[in-house]
């Protein structure tokens, strides 16, 4: 798979709720990077989010390799994580 086929996802993780919102950019890395920088700048003062740009063949891969953004923060969810 060439770099052109890789898809880019801006993950905006809300530190208060523990939920991640994913903005997909398809294969447009430039657009994704612009959005990345803009999101970071918008959050610079308040730092309410953990923002990261991740890329892979699919969102499923990212949910595996960077699962901590998606596994939730409640004790119940953490317990499930330990059980798995």
36 contacts another protein (rule: CB under 8 A):
yes
Bridge partners of 24, per DSSP, are 9
Report the largest interatomic distance among the alpha carbons of the chain, rounded to a whole angstrom.
Answer: 40
Q: Which is nearer to another protein, 23 or 66 (CB)?
A: 66
31 contacts another protein (rule: CB under 8 A):
no
- Among 22, 23, 48, 73, which residue sits at the site for another protein (rule: CB under 8 A)? 73
- Among 40, 42, 46, 48, which residue sits at the site for another protein (rule: CB under 8 A)? 40
Helix (H) or strand (E) holding 22, with range, is strand 19-24
12 contacts another protein (rule: CB under 8 A):
no
Query: CB-based burial of residue 46 (10 Å sphere; 0-12 exposed, 13-18 middle, 19+ buried)?
Result: exposed
């Amino acid at each position: 798979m060439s770099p052109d086929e890789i898809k880019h996802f801006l993950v905006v993780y809300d530190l208060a709720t523990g939920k991640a919102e994913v903005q997909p950019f398809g294969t447009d890395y430039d657009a994704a990077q612009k959005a990345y920088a803009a999101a970071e700048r918008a959050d610079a003062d308040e730092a309410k989010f953990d923002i990261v740009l991740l890329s892979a063949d699919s969102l499923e891969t990212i949910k595996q390799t960077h699962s901590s953004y998606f596994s939730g923060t409640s004790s119940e969810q953490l317990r499930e994580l330990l059980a798995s």
